[in-house]
Amino acid sequence: MGGKLYAITSVGPVSSLHDRACELYYALRGGIVDYGAQHAEENGHARYGRTHEQGLYPEWSREKPLHFLGHSMGGPTIIKLQWLISIDFFSDTDHSDMLLSITTISAPFRGSQAVYALGERTDKPPSVRPFSVGAMIAKFVHVASYFSPFLPAVLDFHADARSLSCYTSDFWTLVKHLWHSDWAEGRDASPFDVTFQASDHREAHLEGLVNPKTFYRSYATCMTERSSVNWGFHIPRIKSVIYVPGLYALSRAMGMFDFSVVNPTPDCVKKSKLDSEYFENSSGSEVDTKGKTQEALWANDGVVPLFSQWHPLSCSTTHCRHYARALGDTSHKQDLAAVQSGLWHVYHIDDANHISLAPIWFGTSRQKALWREVGQWLRNIDVSSGFQQRP
């Protein structure tokens, strides 16, 4: 990282964006994780979580801001963190400028139809269909949380505030959760936060508005191509069935998803025509057809639809600029050198699935190009913002 300090944090993998953002904040600052009294009461868990004796960067402040990078749910978690800071949730001395930059990869800012394909009910979220994949995952989470004191850290679901372990609850409580999970079928969990209904709620409160002094960049991956049979729908490239069969199956379901079954109609569907018009009239964006039209609802990376990876809020509501070029392509000098805060720089990466770039290191040329590019982007920000001397 060019001599810079960096930290990798762990938050609850199936926890809500609110809980994950709180855990991220205290992992950096140190102290006892405080989810907030009102939030805890409304969602039926303890106000306080685990204790971080020593924060990863306790001096974090407006004068000593940080770069943030998140893959998948890490993206909206960071956005939620910035929003909570902006409303003085943690402290009235915090400021949104504490996040100098936010870089995301394959992030579901505006929801994903994948969650419905896996079991979330389209008409009544957060209810989950019995015997669905989602229902099976919920049962696994409860069993793992119950036996967590004896399991490796990779199976740590950060459920401290919910008293799910065998040290804090009895066996019959586990059986009850296996029969019906208030957590998995509640609004305080990541599956619900990925629904279009939850996304619309966040957008109604304008969560995710850009901060004027924060630098934003997102990488939107896509493994599909337009169907030759059904116009507008998308299907994954056939080669992906060999390398990522699970993502291939999910991508097919997403590429032909019927948005009319979602109740109420998602804002992303209502605003897709408006966003298309935005692209057509925006001289600052250069995207392919999938980005310009309603096809972005169905184009996907096997987990997240293309439009959802761009940024929070619609293009007509936020400030954004879209680019279409290959990773490592240095022919767009102006694009590479562009360092502008308060604006989402969106990069469309074609022929890439949800895990092509992160979090698993494959050592591919595209991954190497990505991290070189991100590194240069962060260095440019440091120089532009005057923080180049930061450790």
Residue by residue, DSSP assigns 83-105 as HHHHTTSS-TT--GGGEEEEEEE
Q: Which amino acid is at 218?
A: S
pLDDT tens-digit series, residues 274-310: 565 555 555 455 555 455 557 899 999 999 999 999 9
DSSP state of 166: T
Contact between residue 223 and residue 251 where contact means Cβ atoms under 8 Å apart = yes
| Token pair of 93 as six digits | 């001395």
SS3 5: coil
pLDDT value of residue 84: 98
The CA-based diameter of the chain, rounded to the nearest angstrom, is: 63
Q: Within 13 Å and on the Cβ side, how many CA atoms surround 179?
A: 6
- Nearest 10 degrees: Cα torsion 231, 234, 238, 240: 170
Topology of domain 64-116+212-385 in CATH is: Rossmann fold (3.40.50)
CA distance linking residue 225 with residue 310, whole number of Å: 18
pLDDT tens-digit series, residues 175-191: 999 999 999 999 999 99
| Token pair of 185 as six digits | 């079928």
DSSP state of 77: H
pLDDT value of residue 294: 79
Domain ranges for the chain, please list them. 64-116+212-385, 133-179
pTM: 0.93
Over the chain (391 residues), the average pLDDT of each successive run of 10 is 77 97 98 97 96 95 96 98 98 97 98 97 94 95 95 92 94 94 94 97 96 97 88 88 95 95 90 58 52 80 96 92 75 62 94 95 94 93 77 42
pLDDT value of residue 376: 92
Alpha helices in 227-364 (DSSP H): 240-243, 245-255, 267-281, 289-292, 306-310, 333-337
CA distance linking residue 188 with residue 14, whole number of Å: 9
